[in-house]
Chains A and B, each alone.
Chain A
């Protein structure tokens, strides 16, 4: 069997030190500012983001020159999982920190780096992902948004959909067709950094199942993007986007979205569970612990500069299966009906998770698509 690159990884001492630091920060934040059971990494709170950045928890791995902290990926991993475990409202800076920033650092122009990265690291600049379109979700190579060359840059025309936070972020990284379609579906695509305050952009809200407005439709009409806001070279878009997805798929956010529900459940059950409760919780914890090690070993691969796309797909698939299963199990362990406006925290947490659960296995790529990638890694395609 072709081996996947998961290696045993023991977190180094500097990661432990970082854990203590971020815990102290989060304890203070939680005491004053947010309800853990009701927020998650997708909760958008610019004030929180600025404070987290000021404390050194955004752009952690980037060079000092761009406002980064020059920490290792493993230290960043620890901060990520602590934020998730604490239910910190990190949604404003999350995408910029997780994938847009690293993408710009690696493949952006010098001007883009200097202009954007320090602001992300300061917790003041947020990003959205402009990949999906009405007719291209799973089949990303089918994007139709066009980029046409003009003097000094490109004109973007087309539409994106499901763009999380488009209405409150400063930039989108947009995947567009910069050459007419050809035999090779993956050729002729490019990624652009698009300023959401540019002319020719219209953003329309879409409401989700929990009543929230998180994602949007975005329309581009002759929206100008200067040359140096292209990521990489023209035509490299497919390689860039798949590289970016490895960042999007491998982190602990892919199995910890609803971890606060597990915490609340344990609180509700108390110190003396029934046999059935103990067994079910034990099972969930064993899954969780294994996922955590898979994800940390990917942080180790990233630290070595590798791009573990297949392993990331594997973590996302196994991780979101866990996220989806969690509310289905916990609802059977206690007779509590879920309600978003019940003052009881557990009822609220359950309602919140139930209504968000269908999205866990969609955002960032569906299991059906990820399993195809895994099968390729297994030598079946």
Chain B
């Protein structure tokens, strides 16, 4: 970590502490866009953290951006900040200019597909996508679509051009929406997708974001639980002195440590998600850990953790939501399993042990 990253971290931490309160979180859960928070975040340059300096960004290393995303999740930042960071990087990688304002990514669901075609009016984008994070609330949507030949493109769409059908919330009460596209785009808003997106679109990037966020969310849950276990007294001593509680939280810490190890591997790639196999391992291991950690931390809190009074739920509900978004564990596990079986037993170890070339 260099000086620049240290400054960004410190600034971000200060900003989150200053702007995020229970009231802000509750208001955001009610559907209010936290504009003061967004402005502060944008002023600090965070949306451009992952864009290289040459392309007009802050130029942080992927490992530092990963830390930043974990911090946003630790504080339950109710904004698509990570999506915006990644969208900016993907768009500038393809030669586009940095984007102003908030951005989200679509499609997020492996079954959703968008189609792009040439017509008399120029380029036309069509299709419906589900469960888009902050769908309809961000300034723009960065979309992955394929043409008739299966070639992938990135398209930039202003939110007001999109039909927002279903406004819903995930279990963390973060806004998610169904978006319907049927519009013509100016040529400058469509670019061939970079090579690393051609095979699987945005899935790996979205999964990488959620995996990093789950690390931050788990750390927050564990912090709550450890504090509570040292304070709450039953039978004459803090419950943290009982072996059963110690073991439950030690097991949770083991899941957390393993998830960190799996997700850390992502930080070694330039853009956080260049290698789909590594993403699959990270999302699968992390999603499983998230469920275990949330369960143990709730158990340690007793009934208090089941109330809206105690802040545990801001972190735990996010874990439950994030582990299912951009492909739940089973989606990624199946991918891993099929790949490994294709390698055969004797191919398994060499494949896992050797550093693999990155795609793209």
Residues of B with C-beta under 8 A to A269: 341
CB–CB B353/A286 < 8 A:
no
Q: Which residue of B lies closest to A281 (CB)?
A: B337
Total interface residues on B, CB under 8 Å, equals: 56
Partner among A280, A290, A314 whose Cβ is within 8 Å of the Cβ of B259: A290
The residue in B243, B259, B261, B353 that gathers the most chain A C-beta atoms within 10 A of its C-beta is B261
Measured between beta carbons, the chain B residues less than 8 angstroms from A273 are: 337-338, 341
Instruction: Collect the chain A residues with CB atoms within 8 Å of residue B255's CB.
Output: 318
- A275 CA / B250 CA spacing, docked (Å): 33
Interface residue? A81 (CB, 8 A): yes
- Is the C-beta of B236 less than 8 angstroms from some C-beta in chain A? no
| Interface positions of A from 15 to 34, Cβ below 8 Å from B | 16, 19
B118 CB-CB contact with A under 8 Å? no
Knowing A293-B261, A318-B257 are in contact, say whether A286-B345 is a contact too (CB < 8 A): no
**Would you call A286 and B281 a contact (CB within 8 A)?**
yes
Interface of B, helix, strand, loop or mixed by DSSP? helix
* Nearest-neighbor residue (CB-CB) of B255 within chain A: A318
Min distance, Cβ A120 to any Cβ of chain B, angstroms: 26
CB <8 Å contact, B337 and A279: yes
For A241-285 the 0/1 string (1 means CB < 8 A from B) is 000000000000000000100111111011111010111111101
From A135-143, A157-165, A179-187, A369-377, give the one contacting chain B. Answer: A369-377
Known: A1-B223, A380-B226. Contact between A271 and B341, CB under 8 A?
yes
B-side contacts of A291, CB under 8 Å: 258, 261
Residues from chain B with a CB closer than 8 A to the CB of A289 are: 262, 265, 281, 285, 352
Do A293 and B336 touch (CB < 8 A)? no
B359 close to chain A: CB less than 8 A: no
C-alpha gap A271/B339 in the complex (Å): 9
9-residue interface stretch from B20-28, B37-45, B51-59, B325-333 = B325-333
Contact A314 B337 (CB under 8 A): no
- If the complex has contacts A6-B261, A378-B226, A379-B230, are A290 and B345 also in contact, measured as CB distance less than 8 A? no
Among residues 129 to 188 in chain A, which have CB atoms less than 8 Å away from a CB atom of chain B?
none
Which residues from chain A contact B333 at a C-beta distance below 8 Å? 278-283, 286
Q: Are B334 and A266 in contact (CB under 8 A)?
A: no
A371/B251 in contact, CB under 8 A? yes
Partner of B63 from the list A8, A272, A275 (CB cut-off 8 Å) is A8
Q: Interface majority SS on A: helix, strand, loop or mixed?
A: helix
Q: Return the contact of A317 from the options B250, B281, B336 (Cβ within 8 A).
A: B250
Judged by a CB distance under 8 angstroms, whether B340 is at the interface is yes
Find out whether the CB atom of A293 lies under 8 angstroms from the CB atom of B246: no
**Given A281-B341, A282-B333, A285-B336, are A262 and B348 also a contact pair (CB < 8 Å)?**
yes
**B254 to A: closest C-beta gap in Å:** 4
A282 touches B280 (CB 8 A): yes
Residues in B neighbouring A372, C-beta threshold 8 A: 243, 246-247, 250
Q: How far is the CB of B219 from chain A (nearest CB, A)?
A: 6
CB distance from B270 to the nearest CB of A (A): 13
Q: How far is the CB of B339 from chain A (nearest CB, A)?
A: 8
Q: Which residues of A contact B337 (CB under 8 A)?
A: 273, 277-283, 285
The answer to whether A1 touches B285 (Cβ under 8 A) is no
Bitwise, B317-360 to A at CB < 8 A (1) or not (0) is 00000000000011011111110111111101100111100000
B352 to A285, Cβ gap below 8 A? yes
Q: Quick check: A81 and B353 within 8 Å, CB to CB?
A: yes
- At the interface, yes or no: A288 with Cβ under 8 Å from chain B? yes
Residues of B close to A19: CB separation below 8 A? 353-354
**Interface range on chain A (Cβ under 8 Å from partner):** 35 or more
Which residues of chain A are near B348, meaning CB under 8 Å? Answer: 262-263, 266, 285
Shortest distance between the CB of A10 and any CB in chain B (Å): 6
CB of A368 within 8 Å of the partner chain: yes
Interface string of B206-249 (1 = CB under 8 A from A): 00000000000001001100100110000000001101011101
| B-chain residues with CB within 8 Å of residue A283 when the two chains form the complex | 284, 288, 329, 333, 336-337
Rounded to whole angstroms, the CA-CA distance of A11 and B265 in the bound complex is 12
Contact B345–A267 (Cβ < 8 Å)? yes
Q: In the bound complex, how far is the Cα of B243 from the Cα of A269, in angstroms?
A: 42
Any B CB within 8 A of the CB of A381: yes
Query: Is A292 an interface residue when CB atoms closer than 8 A count as contact?
Result: yes
Contact in complex: B257, A6 (CB < 8 Å):
yes
With A290-B259, A317-B254, A375-B246 already in contact, the answer to whether A8 and B346 are too (CB < 8 A) is: no
Interface string of A348-381 (1 = CB under 8 A from B): 0000000000000000000110111011011111
Docked complex Cα distance between A279 and B335 (Å): 8
Interface CB pairs A-B, < 8 A, 29: A1-B222, A4-B257, A7-B264, A8-B265, A19-B354, A81-B353, A85-B349, A85-B353, A262-B345, A263-B345, A263-B348, A265-B345, A266-B345, A266-B348, A278-B336, A281-B336, A287-B285, A289-B262, A289-B281, A294-B258, A297-B261, A317-B250, A318-B255, A370-B250, A372-B247, A375-B249, A378-B250, A380-B230, A380-B241
Residues of B at the A interface (CB closer than 8 Å) are 63, 219, 222-223, 226, 229-230, 240-241, 243, 245-247, 249-251, 253-255, 257-262, 264-265, 267-268, 280-281, 284-285, 288, 329-330, 332-338, 340-346, 348-349, 352-355
**13 further contact pairs, Cβ within 8 A, besides A282-B338, A285-B340, A286-B280:** A6-B257, A11-B355, A262-B345, A263-B348, A278-B333, A286-B284, A294-B258, A314-B254, A317-B250, A375-B247, A378-B226, A380-B226, A380-B229
8 nearest A-B residue pairs (beta carbon): A278-B337, A282-B333, A282-B336, A267-B345, A375-B246, A282-B337, A371-B250, A374-B250
